[in-house]
Amino acid sequence: MFTIQDTLGAFFIASIISYGFTPLVKKIAFKIKLLDLPDQKKSHAHPMPLLGGLAIYMAFLAAVLFTTDINNYMGGILMGGTIIFILGVIDDKLGMMPKMKLSGQILAALIVYKAGFRVTTFEDYYISMFFTVFWIVGITNAFNLLDNLNGLSSGIAGISSLFFGIIALRGSDMYAAIVSFALAGACLGFLKHNFPKASIFMGDSGSMLLGFILACIAILGTWRTEKISLSLSLPILILGYPIFDTTLVTFLRLRERRPVFLGGRDHSSHILASLGLKKTRAVLLLYIISILLGSSAVLVSVSSTFIAAAIVIATMTMMIGLGLYLSFVRSRSAKLRRQNGNNHT
């Protein structure tokens, strides 16, 4: 039987290893030339080590190995997470076709599905498999897309992990709590080196790994409220900001008739920066939004059905309003750029 001491142990083990191992990872990245080189589209002026995901991976692995038993669930997370991590390293070093990366993500999702991670809303085996894979691949890529400002993806992942852990502890779901706090510790230790001004980037190996583990935690945990529909809202609220940002980017690119998978400066963080907000303040503001969403999930978990439903509706309304505002700002900026271009001609 696991205890709260195991949970705290997982957090501190992951924090210490992530923090202490990251300087060594920097040296390894320079040694093997796994670097993000500067160009006119990037803000950093010097080559940056691109192997921070290794520190997160090792910290999380050590924490769960020392504090939990390796059952089917943990074996599934570690096996699937290792595949995701390796995919990310290959992509960071050599580049990878999107279809190949997607295939690897689907394989990792199928492995954890076979290990017992299942969206139980649907009883049919294959329907449940489809939605489980869709969820895991979607959240994995949401955090990959979120890694567009220093400290953003790792910070949001850490905040989300903490809220998953808090709700898991309240429900005495110690296994989900340990995994959540282990990931939170790994993020916190790494964040010291990744927050603006960063000395290392996590790369795809880190951002995809964070999304993958969080997606698994969302399925692993027992998020009980009075009504099943509200229970489903808890992981969606906790992961609300990555879901919101991915939805906004997809909408903007479809509206502007650009390829959805082609990168661009149209994330919510970029739009906030275009308003004159410094990058550090933009990151902190998005942390606050993520904390508000996580706090809403905690309130939903302890409230009556009526109050919980009101909280969910109010939160969704707030995020829709934010999305409409950022979409308007993006449209206005594009219109001004076109006008300035016409004036110069």
229 pLDDT band, cuts 50/70/90, is low
Q: Is 209 helix (H, G, I), strand (E, B) or coil?
A: helix
Asked if 74 and 216 sit in the same domain, the reply is: yes
> Which of 165, 197, 222 lies at the terminal end of a domain, its last residue?
222
Smallest CA-to-CA distance from 202 within 121, 144, 268 is with 144
Task: Report whether pLDDT(38) > 90.
Answer: no
Q: Is 48 helix (H, G, I), strand (E, B) or coil?
A: strand
The pLDDT tens digits for 242-260 are 999 999 999 988 888 887 7
Q: Looking at residue 257, what DSSP letter applies?
A: T
Asked if 4 and 93 sit in the same domain, the reply is: yes
Task: Report whether pLDDT(340) > 70.
Answer: no
What pLDDT score does 337 carry? 66
330 pLDDT band, cuts 50/70/90, is confident
Task: Report whether pLDDT(308) > 60.
Answer: yes
Phi, psi at 225, each rounded to 5°: -135, -175
Asked if 113 and 23 sit in the same domain, the reply is: yes
Asked if 158 and 138 sit in the same domain, the reply is: yes
Asked if 213 and 253 sit in the same domain, the reply is: no
Domain housing 345 = 226-345
Task: Report whether pLDDT(223) > 80.
Answer: no
Is the bond preceding residue 114 a cis peptide, omega within 30 degrees?
no
**pLDDT mean over 92-97:** 90
CA torsion 236-241-247-250 (nearest 10°) is: -150
Asked if 138 and 40 sit in the same domain, the reply is: yes
> How many beta carbons lie within 10 A of that of residue 228, not counting itself?
12
> Which of 222, 248, 277 lies at the terminal end of a domain, its last residue?
222
Phi, psi at 44, each rounded to 5°: -85, 140
What does the alpha-carbon distance between residue 148 and residue 284 come to, in Å, rounded to a whole number?
14
Task: Report whether pLDDT(210) > 80.
Answer: yes
C-alpha dist (Å) from residue 1 to 29, 69, 217: 40, 10, 19
Task: Report whether pLDDT(27) > 80.
Answer: yes
Q: Looking at residue 95, what DSSP letter applies?
A: -
What does the alpha-carbon distance between residue 76 and residue 114 come to, in Å, rounded to a whole number?
8
The pLDDT tens digits for 6-26 are 999 999 999 999 999 999 999
Secondary structure of the chain: what % helix, strand, coil (to 5)? 75, 0, 25
What pLDDT score does 178 carry? 94
Asked if 230 and 96 sit in the same domain, the reply is: no
Asked if 10 and 69 sit in the same domain, the reply is: yes
What does the alpha-carbon distance between residue 41 and residue 139 come to, in Å, rounded to a whole number?
26
Q: At what angle do helices 125-146 and 240-255 cross, to 10 degrees?
A: 80
> Which of 185, 200, 222 lies at the terminal end of a domain, its last residue?
222
The pLDDT tens digits for 141-194 are 999 999 988 999 999 999 999 999 999 998 888 889 999 999 999 999 999 999
Task: Report whether pLDDT(115) > 80.
Answer: yes
Smallest CA-to-CA distance from 220 within 48, 71, 25 is with 71
What pLDDT score does 228 carry? 59
What pLDDT score does 39 carry? 66
Is the bond preceding residue 197 a cis peptide, omega within 30 degrees?
yes
Q: Is the dihedral of CA 156, 268, 313, 287 positive or negative?
A: positive
**244 CB burial (10 A radius; 0-12, 13-18, 19+):** buried
Sequence-ordered list of residues with C-beta below 8 angstroms from that of 114, at least 6 positions apart, any chain: 76
Asked if 279 and 294 sit in the same domain, the reply is: yes
Number of domains in the chain: 2
What does the alpha-carbon distance between residue 11 and residue 165 come to, in Å, rounded to a whole number?
10
Smallest CA-to-CA distance from 309 within 203, 241, 234, 199 is with 234
206 in Cβ contact with 92 (< 8 Å)? no
What does the alpha-carbon distance between residue 310 and residue 89 come to, in Å, rounded to a whole number?
43
The pLDDT tens digits for 66-94 are 998 888 888 999 999 999 999 999 999 99
Asked if 274 and 163 sit in the same domain, the reply is: no
Asked if 177 and 99 sit in the same domain, the reply is: yes
Q: What is the pTM of this model?
A: 0.92
Which tokens in the block code for residue 151?
A: 């400290």
Asked if 73 and 171 sit in the same domain, the reply is: yes
What does the alpha-carbon distance between residue 120 and residue 125 come to, in Å, rounded to a whole number?
9
Task: Report whether pLDDT(344) > 70.
Answer: no
Q: What is the largest CA-CA distance in the chain?
A: 72
Q: Where are the beta strands (DSSP E) in 256-334?
A: none
**pLDDT mean over 127-133:** 94
What pLDDT score does 197 carry? 82
What pLDDT score does 224 carry? 58
Q: Is 45 helix (H, G, I), strand (E, B) or coil?
A: coil
Task: Report whether pLDDT(51) > 90.
Answer: yes
Does 342 or 296 have the greater pLDDT score? 296
**175 CB burial (10 A radius; 0-12, 13-18, 19+):** buried
Q: Is 49 helix (H, G, I), strand (E, B) or coil?
A: strand
Does 16 or 343 have the greater pLDDT score? 16
What pLDDT score does 40 carry? 57
Averaged pLDDT of the chain: 89
42 pLDDT band, cuts 50/70/90, is low
